[in-house]
Each structure stands twice: as structure tokens, then as C-alpha cells.
Amino acid sequence: MPKDDLKTGYRLVGTRPNRPDGLDKVTGRARYGADISAPGMLHAAVVRSPHAHARIIRIDASKALALDGVKAVITRADFPTGLTGEDWNLQENTIAGDVALYDGHAVAAVAATSKLLAQDAAKLIEVEYEVLPHVIDVDAAMQPGAPVIRAGTADHSVPDGMHPNVVKYIDFGHGDLAAGFAAADLVRAQSYKTEATHQGYIEPHACLGQMGEDGKGEMWVCTQGQWYIRRMCSAVLGTDASQLRVTPSEIGGGFGGKTTIFMEPLALALSRKAGGRPVKLVMSRAEVLRATGPTASASMDVKLGMKADGTLTAASVNFRMQGGAFLGSSPVGEALSCALACYNIPAVHHEGYEVLANRPKAAAYRAPGSPMAAFAVESLLDEMCRELGLDPLAVRLKNAVHEGVKSSYGPTYNRIGLVETLQATMAHANLTVPLGPNQGRGVAAGFWFNHGGETSVSLAIGEDGTVTVSVGTPDIGGSRASLGMMTAETLGIAYEAVRVNIVETGALGVNEPTHGSRATFASGLAAVEAAKQAIAQMCARAAAEWGIEPEAVEWLDGAAVPAGPNAGKFPPMTIAEIGAKMGSTGGPISGHHEVTAGGFGASFGAHVVDVEVDPETGRTTVLRYLVVQDAGCAIHPAYVEGQYQGGAVQGIGWALNEEYVYGADGRLQNPVFLDYRIPVASDLPMIDTVIVEVPNPGHPYGVRGVGETGITPPLPALANAIAAATGARLRSLPMSPPKVLAAIKAKARG
């Protein structure tokens, strides 16, 4: 649907007002995780394992405790025993038990009266280790003889005879694979690898926690989900969830990495041990990189069958992923489900292995699993298009999924916008720019499911007719604006008359975090429903005053009006008038909606990148970049573009620069931004965007969610562009200059 048709009739949706929290954020007033202090506050520091795998023989904190001003030291002995499943994983990752499982694994923590004192004290805590053999690489971890990380972790899905580090096996598909490959004119199979990357949010994890002997606690924390923090901390500490009140700070980026806990229970446990004094715990950048949410590393095989005209006939994928030393942390299931989701292929088969390695517990990172899968599948698809002399976008369009098609991962798609996205891509001017020597153009498509989830929103009419909305999804990139716009649109009032607050855990029912691209979708849907409830009450108040039936009143432009000529002749009663007298007409007026939101709509995107590769150095320069993605409906297009641009640039970093580099000793070699190099402004051109809008029928304004798909296509798009520029095909990320140069040289040697 052309954008102009869709937006007809909306007053605010689709416009670009200033975000409500903009002023606080450009003046330095906005308070992030580390920006708050409390009277009597202590500062904490964490002792971390310098070994990738080591038995903890002894921890001696006597020298630390002897320092004046050191108030508490905790080890695993201060935590309850008997946890199971993911609760045990969370506890084990928060603080090591008998064995440190990765370089940077927390072993002890200390609270003292100043930050420097806490750091000094941490250095005085003596830990004796017995170093154990370790394994870092996912393929190596599956080999016979690889060090066993935790015997007995594997779940029932794993076939007999596999290495104990293989802890989960997944296998699904549909159609006749042999017949599909037999029907193909070209069958190709290749293997690919991606290294772990980090979400790289600029704000390190930070919290201020307080807990008394009675298990009642408070926490201020930078998080994507205050209820997740509450539940996970309580589980790890053995306390009751409702006794912990968690207030989210402003959040300095998350990208999935702040949907879980890493060190938050340490602050609470230290506080409890230090007589209930509040404890502030702020990670250093090295701690962030060593001990928080990298994504998985992957090793992948793909096989595709294609007819000479580009029709895909069969596909099989086999992925191995490690997500650290804990069952359930790798996104191998998501990777498999995303791998072939863009295409209508009669026969598909997926096989996946989750593998333990001596690395930090992987956390979600923007479309978890999808970027790696896309790198493998979209790279091979590109190779085959080249081999058959076919246009890679036309082939994608030919095979594109659409409404009514059974997806590769099972469900049948409802209204989706991949076809429209590819058409908009093919029509874009960037595709007609001529390329020079050493330049190449790459394209790729990408997919993410999007998500609804547990959502609870309250809305209250003020005495002056302005409106407060309380939501539980932290604002990570403009969602206060989009939620305020939808609320104001629904109520027919000014955008400025709505205030959206992100509230603490005591103020609403349980909300899932801002994850899965769900904040504008799910909190938006609930805010609209809450607004409709308030409208119904306001219409009833007007009806009572006018002495007519509530059904004879309707809501128009922020006021109750008689519905049609038969309802009687009354002047509109505005929201301000209704608010001013609500105390005497029946009491406060509010709306409330809670739901486990279904109805989320799948998201598809296509990217086109032009690169120039320096044949002398192997350095890749991104010349121009285009993101086309279906938003469903762009409530605030500027923040939709921002998501597309930010996702694309994270994907560019993943493709070209970023990787976890481990030494032979299993220690992370690059735990600083100088060496873990994320894209900087001078690396990049402007990032062109096209917002396609195929409305999601499951949302009142058609929203799909826009946060995640954008990180998926850059990995293969850049590989395809580099192949076009150099003739050299890179099948392992990152495509850093030395690797590209080696590939160019190998190509020249034939």
C-alpha cells in the first residue's frame, strides 16, 4: 500500500515531533544507571577469574576485610543452593561455584566506602585456582577429546554418542528434500563461520541496590526489563519477587544485552551483608566485554537447490553454535527458524547443535541468531545467482514469501511485506549508480519474527484533561514519543498533552522487557486499548450529565459529542471539562490494559551496499548503503529510520571489524574499545533508508516493530559486495583487512 493512502486520516501518526525526553538527554539531566547515589552508599568491585576454566580451590578475603572501610565480601557461599534450570544458570553466571567457566567469570565481590577502596580491596582477595583445560571454538568443543565443560548438561534431544559439550539438538523441516534437490539445475553447499560479537552499548552495566535482612529490597538499574531484573535477582538470591522493587534508569543502549542479569544480585547480596546499606556497582568496559552478553559464535553448513531460472527447490542448513558455558544461551533455534524464512521453498530441513564453550553466557543481540543464519544462506544464494547469471534481487523476489505461504519454520504467514520491500529496493536510485574499479555491489534480505509478549499499561486522565501513561517497557530509542503519539491520536488530543512514564515494578503488572521489537507494538497496543477504556468512561460521564444513554455519545477530537441528531443537542464536552469535574461525577478516570500480545507481524528487510576494496591492504570502504524495510506503520518515521540505520551499522561492524579474539590461554585479548573496534563516524557514509508500510493486521495502527531486522542483511550484503569487488568470496567473519587481503591473494594465485 502506498504510504500516502495508509496515513490518510491520521493527525499525529507518521509525523516527527520532538521526543519528550529529548531535553533531558541533550542537557545531561537524564539519569542513567551510574548517575544516582544514595545516602550511606557503598561502592562495589568484583573479583573475576583470569582463567578460561579453573577449579576454585580457596578464596581468602582476610586481607581485604582488614582494610578500614571494607564492609562486606561475598562469594558463592552467600547464595542459596538447590536452584535448577535457568535459575541455576543465572546464579552460576552471577558468581562462580566450584569452577570458573570463562575469563572474567565473577568469583567474589566486595563493598567498601569508596570506589577506589573497593577496587583496592578486590585486589587483596586471594583466589587459588587449579587451571583446567579449556575450549573456545565451537567446532573444537564438539571434537572427541575436547575438555568437558559440565558433564550431564545435555538435554534429552541430543543423540547418543555426541560429545558432552553438545547440550541441545534441534531438527525440523518439511517437504521432500531429496526430490527438491533432484529437481534443481544447480545444487551448491558451503560452510561459514561467524565469531562472537558484543552488543557494544556505550553505557556499561550499572546498578544501585539495597536489601535488608528481611529480603525487602530496592534496585535502580539500567535495564531493558525491570520485571526480568526483579524475577532473576529474586531467584538467584532466594527472595520473594514482590519484595524487590526495581526502578529502571534511562538506558544507554541494550540491543538485547540488558534483558538479563549479570552482576545485579551481587549488589543486593553485598547490601544485605553490609547491614542494608545501598551498594552501587558499575562495570568497567573490560568487565562488560569479558563478562556480559556477547552473542554466539557459529559454524554453519548450507545447501541450496536452484533451477536455472532462479527458483529455489530445496534447502538444508546445519548450524553449530556456542553461547558460552550454559545450556540454552545460544540462539541456535532462532537461527534455524530465520535461516530460510524469506523464501518459499518446497523442501526445507534444519538441524542445529548447541555447544558449550569456555566463554561468557551469551545474551540476546538484536534479532538473535538471524544475522549469522543470513550470512550463510544469503551468501550462498548470491554465489548461485552469480553462477547462473541471474539478478540477485530478482531471484529473491521470485522466491519471496507472501501471505498464505507456509514459512520455513512452520506457521503460515499472514499479511507480510517482503515483496513490497524487494520491489522498493529494486526501484531505488542507488542501484543505478555506476561502479568503478575495485568496487562492488552486494544485496541481501533479512527477517525477524517480532514479538508481542506480556504487557500491562495504565493511563490516567488528569484534572486538567492532560494524560499520563504508565508503561513498563524502557525507552531505548524514542518509544516515549511513539507511545505518546498513538495515545494522543486515539484520544484526539495534542501530543504535548500526554506524558509517558516508564514505571517501576510496583506500579504495573508484569511486563516483559523492551525486546523482540515489541515496545511500540505491544505497549502501543495496550496504550490504545487503555485510551479506549478511558474514552468509554468519559462518554459515560457526558451521557450522565446530558441525561442520555452512553451509547448515544461518541468521542470526537478530544471531546464527548452526541452521536447523531437523535441523541440531542449538546455542545461538545472536552476532555479538560470532563477531567476538571471527574471527582464529582464518579471519581478518577483511567484506563488499563493487560495482555500477552499476539498479533505481532513478521518483519522483512533488504539492504544494498556498495563497497570499494583496497587491493593493497584489503581494507573495505562502504561507499553507500541502503536499508529498505517493512515497518507496518511508522509511527514516528525519524526513529524508525534511526533503528534501520543503527541496525545496519551494527551489522557493518559485525561484518568488517568486530570479533572476540581469544589467546591460546583462553583469555579475551581485546576487552577494550580500542581493540574491539565498533564502527566510528569516519568509517561510514550516510545510511539511506526507505520505510515500506504494509500494515500489520494485529495492531490498531498497523505497527510491526522495527528494531531488529536491520542487523541481519549487512553481514551477507557486505560479503556479496566484497566478492563482487574482488572476485574473492569470504565465508568467515569478520572480513577484516588481513582476511580480505589473503583472500584476494589466494584468488590471484588461482
Are the C-beta atoms of residues 105 and 96 closer than 8 Å to each other? yes
Residue 369 C-beta: closest distance to another protein, Å: 20
Looking at the Cβ atoms of 483 and 687, the one nearer to another protein is: 687
Q: Rule CB under 8 A: say whether 68 interacts with another protein.
A: no
274 or 711: whose CB is closer to ligand FES?
Answer: 711
Closest CB to another protein among 199 and 297? 199
Rounded to the nearest 10°, the torsion over CA 245, 251, 256, 260 is -30
Give whichever of 238 and 253 is closer to ligand FES, judged by the CB atom.
253
Q: CB 104 → another protein: shortest distance, Å? A: 16
Shortest distance, position 655 Cβ to ligand FES, whole Å: 20
Q: Which of 70, 101, 229, 251 binds another protein (CB under 8 A)?
A: 251
Decide whether 10 or 673 has the Cβ nearer to another protein. 673
Q: Which of the listed partners (ligand FES, another protein, none) does 646 bind, with a CB threshold of 5 to 8 Å by partner kind? A: another protein
Q: Please report, for residues 7, 53, 127, 131, 670, the alpha-carbon distance to residue 134 in angstroms, rounded to integers and kept in the order given.
A: 57, 6, 19, 9, 18
Using CB distances below 5 to 8 A depending on partner kind, what does residue 191 bind out of another protein, ligand FES, none?
none
Q: How many other C-beta atoms are found inside a 10 Å radius of the C-beta of residue 224?
A: 26
DSSP string, 600-620: ---EEEEEEEEEEE-TTT--E
Count of beta carbons in the 10 Å neighbourhood of residue 212 = 14
Residue pair 442/725 in contact by the 8 Å Cβ criterion: no
- Tell me the chain's radius of gyration from C-alpha atoms: 27
Looking at this protein, which amino acid is placed at residue 661?
V
248-276 core/surface letters (b: 16 or more CB in 10 A; e: else)? bbbbbbbbbbbbbbbbbbbbbbbbbbbeb
Interface positions, 231-250, toward another protein (CB under 8 A): 250
357, with CB counted inside 10 A (0-12, 13-18, 19+), is buried
Say whether residue 642 binds ligand FES (CB under 6 A): no
Q: Smallest gap, in angstroms, from Cβ of residue 643 to ligand FES?
A: 12
C-beta closer to ligand FES: residue 580 or 684: 684
In the complex, least distance from residue 668 CB atom to another protein, rounded to whole angstroms: 15
The verdict on 164 binding another protein (CB under 8 A) reads no
Nearest CA to 203 among 402, 476, 387, 452? 476
The terminus-to-terminus CA distance of the chain in angstroms comes to 49
Q: Of these partners, another protein, ligand FES, none, which one is at the site of residue 478 (CB under 5 to 8 Å by kind)?
A: another protein
Q: In this complex, which beta carbon is closest to ligand FES, that of residue 100 or of residue 251?
A: 251
How many chain residues bind another protein (CB under 8 A)? 62
Of 466 and 670, nearer to ligand FES (C-beta) is 670
The residues, ordered by sequence, that sit 6+ positions from 452 with a Cβ below 8 Å of its Cβ are 516, 518, 521, 522, 525, 595, 596, 597, 598, 599, 600, 698
CA–CA separation, 154 and 156 (whole Å): 7
Binding to ligand FES by CB under 6 A, coded x per residue (else -) over 454-493, reads ----------------------------------------
Asked whether position 253 contacts ligand FES by CB under 6 A, the answer is yes
We find the least distance from the C-beta atom of residue 22 to another protein, in angstroms, to be 4
**Closer CB to another protein, 115 or 428, in the complex:** 115
Cell of 107: 568469583
Name the 3-class secondary structure at 517.
coil
Q: Which of residues 539-598 bind ligand FES (CB under 6 A)?
A: none
The SS3 of residue 582 is helix
Q: Please list, in sequence order, all residues whose beta carbon lies within 8 angstroms of the beta carbon of residue 66, skipping any fewer than 6 positions away.
A: none
Q: Segment 678-697, which members bind another protein (CB under 8 A)?
A: 678-684, 686-687
Nearest distance, CB of residue 24 and another protein, angstroms: 8
- The C-alpha atoms of residue 624 and residue 605 are separated, in whole angstroms, by 17
Q: Which residue is nearest to ligand FES (CB)?
A: 202
CB of 253 to ligand FES, least distance (A): 5
CA gap 375, 651 in Å, rounded: 10
Residue of 12, 19, 515, 735 interacting with another protein (CB under 8 A): 19
Among 57, 179, 202, 661, binds ligand FES (CB under 6 A): 202
Contacting another protein (CB under 8 A), which of 27, 84, 432, 566?
Answer: 27
Cβ partners under 8 Å of residue 557, min gap 6: 492, 572
| Residues numbered 612-671 forming contacts with another protein, rule: CB under 8 A | 636, 638-639, 641-643, 645-650
For residues 472 and 478, which CB has a smaller minimum distance to ligand FES in the complex? Answer: 478
In eight-state DSSP terms, residue 514 is S
Closer residue to ligand FES, CB minimum distance, 28 or 82: 28
> What nine digits make up the cell of 169?
539438538
Q: Is the dihedral of CA 370, 453, 7, 694 positive or negative?
A: positive
State in angstroms the smallest separation of the CB of 73 from another protein.
Answer: 22
520 lies in the site for another protein, by CB under 8 A? no
Of 420 and 659, nearer to another protein (C-beta) is 659
Residues in 347-386 that interact with another protein by CB under 8 A: none
Told to check if 116 binds ligand FES by CB under 6 A, we report no
Q: Provide the mask over 254-273, with x wherever binding to another protein is found by CB under 8 A and - wherever it is not.
A: xx------------------
Residues 694 and 436: beta-carbon distance below 8 Å? no
Unique residue bearing C-alpha cell 496515513: 7
Asked whether position 180 contacts another protein by CB under 8 A, the answer is no
* Smallest distance, another protein to C-beta of residue 481, A: 9
d(CA 202, CA 222): 12
Does the protein bind ligand FES through residue 22 (CB under 6 A)? no
Query: Residue 636 CB, nearest distance to another protein (Å)?
Result: 8
Instruction: Please report how close the Cβ of residue 382 comes to another protein at its closest, in angstroms.
Output: 23
Amino acid at 536: A
10 by DSSP, 3-state: which? coil
Nearer to ligand FES by C-beta: 202 or 427?
202
- Cβ atoms of 33 and 653 closer than 8 Å: no
DSSP characters over 41-62: -EEEEEEE-SSSSEEEEEEE-H
Q: Under the rule (CB under 8 A), what is the footprint of another protein?
A: 16, 18-19, 21-23, 25-32, 34-35, 37, 114-116, 199-204, 250-255, 282, 284-285, 476-478, 636, 638-639, 641-643, 645-650, 672-674, 678-684, 686-687
Q: Under the rule (CB under 6 A), what is the footprint of ligand FES?
A: 202, 253
